[in-house]
Chains A and B, each alone.
Chain A
Amino acid sequence: MIASLRTNWIILTTSVEERLVYRGDFVFATLIRFLPIVTQIFLWGAIYGIHTSSPIKSIKSYSYHEMVAYYLLVMVGRAFSSMPGLANGIANDVRDGTIKKYLIQPIDMLGYLFWARVAHKLVYYLVALGPFILVFYLCRHYFAGWPDAFTITVWMLSLMMAFLVGFLIESLIGLIAFWFLEVSSLIFIYMMLNYFLSGHMIPLDLFPEPLSSWMQMLPFKYLAYFPGTVILGKYSHQELIFELSIEVVWIGVLFSLNRIAFQRGIRRYSAFGG
């Protein structure tokens, strides 16, 4: 147990070091991600007509300020749940044979990738924390005030779990490469679906019924919509606990699917190629 913790720690720290090799590229990529929020603020300003004589008060239950706050919070959620290159990385490892390394060495591939990803995220936060604080400070008037401690705790949990859900969905898609060597178009489709199923494009409750309810039954909303709306006070405390429990179940299901796909995939790999 302690030995495997140590191994994971070394994987983590080594990945951090690797991540820091290309500093310039990394800092640049991190900062550029703040650009879309500016366009969102302008776009929704125009939609609500805030500079006109008769601005719209609210769309569904969102006021203009809430809408902008939603996008700011979604940005935080996605800082946890987005996994650039994970699915593609797994697919490439399968295709070019790098996966052999994980089969020969006494090491679990998914565990290894998980800790490497944690490292990526930690380095990302290190660079992005300053800009995030600055952006939220500048946009503070879009928020109604501080939510209660319970909501903040749930929000933090929802961010951690957004990371898990994001990791598990993307790695599952990557593992499909065991069956179809080329998964880049599949990943593209996933990205498109993810864009609106997660609430990244617009809040899910803006979609018409019954679409909105159906979308809320999928795990994708935990990637952006749920961590986004927690702070906006869209849920009662009971509802928050319920949502978190469903999310835990989803994590369990996705984890099991990953394990099954990995076992089957390896069996197939071993039977056909190698």
Chain B
Amino acid sequence: MNAIVVKNLEKTYKVYQKKEGVFASLKGLWRRDYKTVHAVSDVSFSIEQGEIVAFLGPNGAGKTTTLKLLSGLIFPSAGEATVLGYVPWKRENEYRRRFSLVMGQKNQLWWDLPAQESFRLHKEIYRIDPQQYTRRLDELTSLLEVRHLIGQPVRELSLGERMRMELIAALLHKPDVLLLDEPTIGLDVVSQRRVQEFLKYYQVEQKTTVVLTSHYMKDVEALCKRAIIINQGRIKHDGPLSDILDRFSNYKIMDVQFDGDDMPRDFSQWGEVIECEAPHVKLKVPRNKIPEILTNLLSRYRILDVGVQERPLEEVIAEVFTEQKNEAAQAQNEKNVLHSTSD
């Protein structure tokens, strides 16, 4: 069964364009120029109950806008969406009791009070059964290893500890849908890992539907099987994470360890050198050429070890974004040229 269904969703904003300088500011007092920004254009997808899906994209791609639409914070300009059968932007209390949105940069806890006070308030706001509340609080605080900290004012906690408290606050009412916007932003490696491990365990255990945006590919790789790549408000890819590599990466990384100094001087006929420290070399080679290159190398040189790996996901995705940006720029240029010739 689908937990989230999104059809042709669009969101456009009008943004005030302020020109530089005092004079322009004064002019802006009575006349303002607005630019229309297409934050999300014609986005459609559906997510099964219990699935965990990553939203990938550069800054300003439309990921957060999509999450805001799904949590009912904003209305779409066009299109429709249902989450657990509810239209999010109607903001019915029944819906609001069944999902949670965690934003890595936003606080829901009371700053000056211990987290347990905020939890107690959540218990009332979400009408959580007292016994269930005690059990869940116990479970979550021990899973996230913050049980000893819930009596300490939130402002005295470290960022990582606070984020874990935020997660607990978001999960106390056992949401069916969990929307996570950059949950590990600004955390150190250890805290990041802990949050990842927790989310993974929790999601499997509770079968919660999770939509996650993150800039950290490590988060995504650790948690998600499926990824939706969004750029300039449009979906560029929707499918298994592993497909991204097949689809967008024509290269693999080859690690070769030669026996002694007997190694080629020039690798350009095989691939691009990433790292070369004799007798060890790291090459970026076309996918389809790997058998050929291997046979070639093995027949001519003495080789101790060979490894072939996929390129890091991060790199591939960065490449996809850059390419698309260039394509868009090129299209824009062509349009401009057409314009100027037709003038």
Contacts and interface: CB of A to CB of B under 8 A. Distances in A.
B68 interface: yes
B14 A270 contact: no
Interface string A242-274: 000000000000000000000000010111111
Contacts of A107: 125
Interface stretch (A83-91, A97-105, A162-170, A221-229): A97-105
Interface in A1-35: 3, 6-7, 10-11, 14, 17-18, 21-22
Contact of B13 (A11, A17, A101, A273): A273
Interface string B129-155: 000000000000000000000000100
Residue among A11, A22, A106, A267 having the largest count of chain B Cβ atoms under 10 Å: A106
Given A17-B117, A270-B74, A273-B13, A106 B124 contact: no
Contact of B120 (A10, A100, A270, A272): A10
Contacts of B108: 101, 105
B25 to A, nearest CB: 14
Interface string B95-107: 0110011010011
Contacts of B121: 10-11, 14
Interface string A92-133: 000001101101111100000000000000000000000000
B270 to A, nearest CB: 51
Contacts of B126: 105-106
A269 B14 CA distance: 12
B273 interface: no
Given A10-B121, A17-B117, A274-B74, A106 B93 contact: yes
B125 A103 contact: no
Contact of A103 (B73, B118, B127, B153): B73
Contacts of B112: 18, 21-22
Interface in B141-189: 153
Interface centre among B89, B101, B121 (most CB of A within 10 A): B121
Interface residues of A, number: 26
B260 to A, nearest CB: 62
Nearest to A11: B121
Nearest to A15: B110
A97 B71 CA distance: 14
A7 B96 contact: no
Interface string B61-84: 000010010011111000000000
Nearest to B65: A274
B93 A270 contact: no
Nearest to A9: B124
A46 to B, nearest CB: 44
Given A14-B118, A270-B73, A271-B74, 12 more contacts: A7-B125, A10-B120, A14-B121, A18-B113, A21-B153, A98-B107, A100-B73, A100-B101, A105-B126, A106-B97, A107-B125, A274-B65
15 contacts: A10-B124, A14-B120, A18-B110, A18-B113, A98-B106, A100-B101, A100-B103, A101-B108, A104-B73, A104-B96, A105-B96, A106-B97, A270-B75, A271-B74, A272-B14
Interface of B: 13-14, 65, 68, 71-75, 89, 91, 93, 96-97, 100-101, 103, 106-108, 110, 112-113, 117-118, 120-121, 123-127, 153
